[in-house]
Amino acid sequence: MEAKEVEDTKSNFRWCWFWLVSVIAILVIVAGVLAILEDLKDSKKDSASHHPGPIVKKYADALEIALQFFDVQKSGKLVNNRIVWRGDSGLLDGIEMNLDLSKGMYDAGDLMKFGFPMAFTATMLSWAILEYGENMKTVKQLGHARDSLKWITDFLINAHPSENVLYIQVGDPELDHQCWERPETIRGIRPLTQVNTSFPGTEVAAETAAAMASASLVFKKIDSSYSNLLLEHAQQLFSFADAYRGSYSVSIPQVQNYYNSTGYEDELLWAAAWLYHASKDLSYLKYVTELNGQQFANWGNPTWFSWDDKHAGTHVLLSRLNIFGAKGMSSEENLDLQMYRKTSDAIMCELLPDSPTATSSRTKGGLIWVSQWNCLQHAMASAFLAVLFSDYMVTTQISTLYCHGKSYSPADLRDFSISQADYILGNNPMKMSYLVGYGSNYPQKVHHRGASIPVDANTTCKDGFTWLDSINPNPNVAVGAVVGGPFLNETYIDSRNNWMQAEPTTYNSALVASLLSSLVRSSSVVDSFT
């Protein structure tokens, strides 16, 4: 080989080597930049998840108070109960059918155990724990919330003795309302009411399935056998509810005077959504999308979330899947989940006070107000959904919600929720806290049997009405009770005989606990609980 050829070969080799080194260097630089960007993304996510906002003391204090009402309402052989004026009660409940239905919780100011709202109470407590358990843990309330949840789910398990039988009521409301007595002095055996294949109750069976499915997730890491038992009951109850469709208000007409149902389609979707989260069984996802979404979901038509109507809660819960993603989802299922998401957007736009589509169902002071009976339930339920949706947006870095061309941020939704919580805690025209035990001015004459009768009073069924009619404050404080709330003109009459405004409910306490747990920190990032 001649010298020139050797030199050309060396030159070509040097150029190849130069380009190779250059390409490698460029690739290293690009990889470094991508790594830095990923680190920044992770850092941002970690910063949000590991450095949540500071504790907001008023909401932490209010949460501690709110959770105590579950101890006020407990039936059965009490364990470590924090309410000194409460004792054992309802120990014979279920005995005539060889069932132990002594646990569970009394519904309101009466001594009834209504399975439909009680199951909703459990579902909401579970949802709050799953989304905001870390907030509860930070302020030392997570254990109390779990204990109260288990007190209900223990009852629900025993109330479901076979696949197609569910006991949905303990006590006769007509007889119960003829007495005014403390739960500790209940005498005799109380009648039971059940749904079965001959007398179906789809909504109550499905809501109970939702309660057990959501609770199974709560206990999954701390008591796997109990979690599995709950999931098994949930699946059986859902199959029963779906196979034997019929409203319990039709099967058992007497329930219409107390917890009348307006339909069961929403509960079927609600239960299936929770069962998908709990089991990862894609058939439940298909149930709420391809099979029944179009027929049952009422897409595009926001309704008020309550013990009776689960549509809004279902939309937000399934929006979670749309926002965070779900494995094994078909394109059709994804499209249907987008419909749940769009309806959730519409719900949020109705709640925001200055949105083009803002609801007019609110007081001048800004409280969501839908019904004169227990008006606060809609305000609390709406506020919880709003702050939860806000946190979904923050977690996934969705910055904007559009309402007919006007844009809103997650902070706007949180501000709305704060306005509802603050109204309930005393920032209202009455300057009164509707959470009993919070602040210096709260209702003193709550419509509540146990709270109104002194512990040492020797009363029977009838003469206890002396305490109902008394103008004196309750001798026992129903700590954590959320009363019905104000009239549309934002007035409140503190009288035991004003049961429309002055009677608390157990599910109200689940709603306020859910809302307060979401606001315990000034900002939150939620994690997947599936």
Q: Are residues 334 and 191 in the same domain?
A: yes
Long-range Cβ pairs for the range 423-430 (8 Å, 24+) = 423/365, 423/366, 423/367, 423/379, 424/376, 424/379, 424/380, 424/482, 424/485, 424/512, 425/58, 425/62, 428/365, 428/367, 428/486, 428/490, 429/365, 429/490, 429/491, 430/486, 430/490, 430/491, 430/492
The secondary structure of 51-111 as a DSSP string is: SPPPB-HHHHHHHHHHTTHHHHHB-BS-SS-S-TT---B-TTTTGGGT-----SB--SSSS
Contact 251, 222 (CB under 8 A): no
What residues contact 26, with CB distance under 8 A and at least 6 apart?
Answer: none
Q: Are residues 43 and 56 in the same domain?
A: no
Domain annotation covers residue 463: yes
What is the pLDDT at residue 98?
Answer: 97
Half-sphere exposure at residue 30, Cβ-oriented, CA atoms within 13 angstroms: 6
What residues contact 480, with CB distance under 8 A and at least 6 apart?
Answer: 65, 66, 67, 68, 69, 70, 72, 435, 436, 437, 509
What is the domain-level CATH number for residue 430?
1.50.10.10
Q: Are residues 335 and 318 in the same domain?
A: yes
Domain annotation covers residue 129: yes
Q: Are residues 43 and 69 in the same domain?
A: no
Q: What letter represents residue 322's amino acid?
A: N
The secondary structure of 254-313 as a DSSP string is: GGHHHH--S-SHHHHHHHHHHHHHHH--HHHHHIIIIITHHHHS-TT-----SSS--HHH
Q: Are residues 213 and 355 in the same domain?
A: yes
Q: Are residues 130 and 269 in the same domain?
A: yes
Determine how β-strand 192-195 pairs with β-strand 401-403. unpaired
| Cα–Cα nearest to 202, from 238, 165, 156 | 238
Domain annotation covers residue 163: yes
Q: Are residues 148 and 118 in the same domain?
A: yes
Ramachandran sector of residue 377 (left: φ over 0; alpha: ψ -120 to 50; beta: rest) = alpha
Domain annotation covers residue 466: yes
Q: Which two tokens stand for residue 274?
A: 């929770």
Domain annotation covers residue 35: yes
- Report d(CA 190, CA 232) in Å as an integer: 28
Parent domain of 26: 1-51
Domain annotation covers residue 525: no
What is the pLDDT at residue 296?
Answer: 92
Q: How far is CA 288 from CA 315, 316, 332, 366, in A?
A: 10, 13, 12, 34
Element spanning 408, H or E: strand 406-408
What is the pLDDT at residue 26?
Answer: 47
Q: Tokens 């054992």 sit at which residue?
A: 88
Contact 203, 116 (CB under 8 A): yes
Q: Are residues 428 and 349 in the same domain?
A: yes
Q: Are residues 97 and 3 in the same domain?
A: no
Active site residue 447: yes
- Report d(CA 73, CA 481) in Å as an integer: 10
- Structural domain total, the chain: 2
What is the pLDDT at residue 329?
Answer: 75
Q: Are residues 6 and 96 in the same domain?
A: no
What is the pLDDT at residue 291?
Answer: 83
Q: Are residues 46 and 176 in the same domain?
A: no
Which residue among 51, 71, 86 closes a domain?
A: 51
Give the global pTM. 0.90
What is the pLDDT at residue 13?
Answer: 44
- Report d(CA 166, CA 139) in Å as an integer: 37
Per-residue model confidence as pLDDT tens digits over 309-327: 999 999 999 999 988 877 7
Domain annotation covers residue 528: no
Element spanning 402, H or E: strand 401-403
Domain annotation covers residue 526: no
Contact 480, 513 (CB under 8 A): no
CB atoms within 10 A of CB 485: 28
Q: What letter represents residue 405's amino acid?
A: G
Half-sphere exposure at residue 346, Cβ-oriented, CA atoms within 13 angstroms: 16
Which residue among 11, 30, 51 closes a domain?
A: 51
Measured at the CA of 493, the angle between CA 487 and CA 497, to 5 degrees, comes to 110
Q: Which two tokens stand for residue 68?
A: 């105590």
Q: Which stretches of the chain drop beneath a pLDDT of 70?
A: 1-51, 528, 530
Active-site residue identified among 160, 233, 277, 447: 447
What is the pLDDT at residue 35?
Answer: 42
First to last CA, the chain: 71
Q: Are residues 121 and 240 in the same domain?
A: yes
| Cα–Cα nearest to 324, from 411, 382, 250, 397 | 397
